[in-house]
Chain A
Amino acid sequence: MIPASFDYVRAGSLDEAIALLKEHGDEAKLLAGGHSLLPLMKLRLAQPAMLVDIGRLSELSYVREEKEYVAVGALTRHHDVATSPVALASAPVLAHVAGQIGDPQVRHRGTIGGSISHGDPASDLPAVLLALGGTLVVEGPKGRREIDAKDFFLSFFEVALAPEEVVVEVRVPRSDGHWGFEKLTKRAQDWAIVGAVAVRTSNGVGVGLINMGPVPLRAKAVEEAVASGANAVDAAELAAEGTEPSADFNGTVAYRQHVAKVLVRRALEKAGV
Chain B
Amino acid sequence: MSILGNRVVRREDPKFLTVGGTYVADLDLPGSLHLIFVRSSMAHAKLLSVDTSGAKAMPGVIAVYTNDDLGIATMPSIMGMTNEAMTAPMLASGTVRYVGEPIVAIVAESRESAADAVEQVVVEYEPLTVVIDPVEARKDTALLFPDAGTNTAFTLDFGGDDALFDDCEVVVELDLVNQRVAPCPMEGRSAAAHMTKDGRLEFNSATQAPHRVRDALVGFLGLEPDKVHVVTPDVGGGFGAKASVYPEDIVVGWCALQLGRPVRWTETRSESMLGLGHGRAQVQHVRMGGTREGVITAYRLDVLQDGGAYPGFGTVLPFMTRIMTSGPYKIPKAEFGSVSVVTNSTPTVAYRGAGRPEATSAIERVMDVFAREIAMDPVELRRRNLIGKDEFPYTTPVETVYDVGDYHQALELALEVAGYDELRAKQARRRASGDPIQLGIGLSCYVEITNGLPDGEFGAVEVRPDGKIIVRTGTSPHGQGHVTAWSMLVAEQMGVPIEDIEVLYGDTDIVPRGAGTMGSRSLQIGGAAVNQAAVDVVEKAKDLAADLFEASRDDIVLDKSNGRFHVVGTPAISRSWGDLAKAAVAKDGKSLFAEVDLASPGPTYPFGTHLSVVEVDTDTGKVTLLRHIAVDDAGTIINPLLAEGQVHGGIAQGIAQALLEEVVYDLDGNPLTSTLADYSFISAAELPSFETRFTETPTPINALGAKGIGESGTIGATPALHNAVCDALAHLGVRHVDMPTTPVRVWNAINEAALENAGGKD
Give A contacts to B, CB under 8 Å. Answer: 1-2, 4-5, 43-44, 184, 186-190, 193, 248-252, 255, 258-259, 262-263
Within 8 Å by CB of A4, from B116, B270, B619, lies B116
Are A187 and B685 closer than 8 Å at their CB atoms? yes
Are B686 and A1 closer than 8 Å at their CB atoms? no
- Supply 12 further A-B pairs (C-beta < 8 A) apart from A250-B744, A255-B747: A2-B111, A2-B115, A43-B270, A187-B682, A189-B683, A193-B743, A248-B672, A249-B664, A250-B743, A259-B743, A262-B620, A263-B620
Report the nearest B residue to A261, measured CB to CB: B619
Give B contacts to A, CB under 8 Å. Answer: 111-112, 115-116, 119, 268, 270, 619-620, 622, 660, 662, 664, 672, 680, 682-683, 685-686, 742-744, 747-748
Bound Cα distance from A71 to B157, whole angstroms = 71
Are A184 and B664 closer than 8 Å at their CB atoms? no
Least CB distance, A145 to chain B, in whole angstroms: 35
Within 8 Å by CB of A187, from B115, B680, B744, lies B680
Chain A residues with CB under 8 A of B683: 187-189
Are A186 and B747 closer than 8 Å at their CB atoms? no
Are B672 and A184 closer than 8 Å at their CB atoms? no
Within 8 Å by CB of B748, from A43, A189, A255, lies A255
Chain B residues with CB under 8 A of A262: 619-620
Bound Cα distance from A146 to B229, whole angstroms = 68
Chain B residues with CB under 8 A of A251: 743-744
Report the nearest B residue to A251, measured CB to CB: B744
Chain B residues with CB under 8 A of A2: 111-112, 115-116
Bound Cα distance from A148 to B270, whole angstroms = 39
Bound Cα distance from A189 to B677, whole angstroms = 9
Report the nearest A residue to B747, measured CB to CB: A255
Q: Would you give 6 A-B contacts (Cβ < 8 Å), ordered by A? A: A2-B111, A184-B743, A186-B742, A187-B680, A190-B680, A250-B743
Chain A residues with CB under 8 A of B747: 255, 258-259
Bound Cα distance from A73 to B620, whole angstroms = 36
Report the nearest B residue to A252, measured CB to CB: B744
Are B743 and A44 closer than 8 Å at their CB atoms? no
Are A186 and B268 closer than 8 Å at their CB atoms? no
Are B686 and A187 closer than 8 Å at their CB atoms? yes
Q: Which of B270, B685, B744, B747 has the most CB of A within 10 A?
A: B744
Bound Cα distance from A44 to B115, whole angstroms = 10
Within 8 Å by CB of A1, from B268, B620, B664, B672, lies B268
Least CB distance, B707 to chain A, in whole angstroms: 33
Chain A residues with CB under 8 A of B672: 248-249
Least CB distance, A46 to chain B, in whole angstroms: 14
Bound Cα distance from A43 to B270, whole angstroms = 9
Chain B residues with CB under 8 A of A4: 116
Chain B residues with CB under 8 A of A258: 747
Least CB distance, B78 to chain A, in whole angstroms: 30
Are A1 and B744 closer than 8 Å at their CB atoms? no
Are A186 and B743 closer than 8 Å at their CB atoms? yes
What is the interface of chain B mostly: helix, strand, loop, or mixed? Answer: loop
Chain B residues with CB under 8 A of A255: 744, 747-748
Bound Cα distance from A72 to B183, whole angstroms = 43
Chain A residues with CB under 8 A of B268: 1
Report the nearest A residue to B685, measured CB to CB: A188
Q: Which of B620, B662, B683 has the most CB of A within 10 A?
A: B620
Least CB distance, A21 to chain B, in whole angstroms: 26
Chain A residues with CB under 8 A of B620: 184, 259, 262-263
Bound Cα distance from A258 to B754, whole angstroms = 15
Bound Cα distance from A193 to B115, whole angstroms = 33
Q: Which of B270, B662, B680, B682 has the most CB of A within 10 A?
A: B680
Least CB distance, A33 to chain B, in whole angstroms: 17
Report the nearest A residue to B270, measured CB to CB: A43
Are B660 and A186 closer than 8 Å at their CB atoms? yes
Bound Cα distance from A43 to B675, whole angstroms = 11
Report the nearest B residue to A1, measured CB to CB: B268
Chain A residues with CB under 8 A of B662: 249
Report the nearest A residue to B664, measured CB to CB: A249
Bound Cα distance from A248 to B673, whole angstroms = 12
Least CB distance, A154 to chain B, in whole angstroms: 25
Chain A residues with CB under 8 A of B619: 262
Bound Cα distance from A65 to B504, whole angstroms = 64
Are A189 and B744 closer than 8 Å at their CB atoms? no
Chain A residues with CB under 8 A of B748: 255
Report the nearest B residue to A255, measured CB to CB: B744
Chain A residues with CB under 8 A of B622: 184
Chain B residues with CB under 8 A of A1: 115, 268
Least CB distance, A32 to chain B, in whole angstroms: 20
Least CB distance, B672 to chain A, in whole angstroms: 6
Chain B residues with CB under 8 A of A248: 672
Least CB distance, B333 to chain A, in whole angstroms: 39
Are A188 and B116 closer than 8 Å at their CB atoms? no
Chain A residues with CB under 8 A of B742: 186, 250
Chain A residues with CB under 8 A of B685: 187-189
Closest 4 CB pairs of A and B: A188-B685, A2-B115, A262-B619, A1-B268
Bound Cα distance from A251 to B742, whole angstroms = 9
Least CB distance, B217 to chain A, in whole angstroms: 27
Are A44 and B119 closer than 8 Å at their CB atoms? yes
Least CB distance, B640 to chain A, in whole angstroms: 31
Report the nearest B residue to A191, measured CB to CB: B677
Least CB distance, A107 to chain B, in whole angstroms: 15
Least CB distance, B674 to chain A, in whole angstroms: 11
Chain A residues with CB under 8 A of B680: 186-187, 190
Chain A residues with CB under 8 A of B682: 187
Bound Cα distance from A187 to B622, whole angstroms = 10
Chain A residues with CB under 8 A of B743: 184, 186, 193, 250-251, 259
Bound Cα distance from A42 to B404, whole angstroms = 54
Chain B residues with CB under 8 A of A250: 742-744
Are A187 and B660 closer than 8 Å at their CB atoms? yes
Chain B residues with CB under 8 A of A184: 620, 622, 743
Bound Cα distance from A117 to B261, whole angstroms = 48
Report the nearest A residue to B680, measured CB to CB: A186
Bound Cα distance from A128 to B301, whole angstroms = 51
Bound Cα distance from A193 to B745, whole angstroms = 13
Least CB distance, A180 to chain B, in whole angstroms: 15
Bound Cα distance from A262 to B620, whole angstroms = 7
Q: Which of A2, A184, A248, A251 has the most CB of B within 10 A?
A: A2
Report the nearest A residue to B666, measured CB to CB: A249
Report the nearest A residue to B748, measured CB to CB: A255
Report the nearest A residue to B622, measured CB to CB: A184
Bound Cα distance from A21 to B748, whole angstroms = 49
Bound Cα distance from A187 to B652, whole angstroms = 14
Bound Cα distance from A249 to B679, whole angstroms = 11
Least CB distance, A196 to chain B, in whole angstroms: 11
Least CB distance, B60 to chain A, in whole angstroms: 12
Report the nearest A residue to B742, measured CB to CB: A186
Bound Cα distance from A186 to B116, whole angstroms = 35
Bound Cα distance from A44 to B268, whole angstroms = 14
Report the nearest B residue to A249, measured CB to CB: B664
Bound Cα distance from A262 to B436, whole angstroms = 11
Least CB distance, B664 to chain A, in whole angstroms: 5
Least CB distance, A204 to chain B, in whole angstroms: 26
Bound Cα distance from A188 to B684, whole angstroms = 9
Least CB distance, B705 to chain A, in whole angstroms: 40
Within 8 Å by CB of A188, from B111, B664, B686, lies B686
Least CB distance, B108 to chain A, in whole angstroms: 11
Least CB distance, A44 to chain B, in whole angstroms: 7
Bound Cα distance from A191 to B106, whole angstroms = 35
Chain A residues with CB under 8 A of B744: 193, 250-252, 255
Least CB distance, B730 to chain A, in whole angstroms: 22
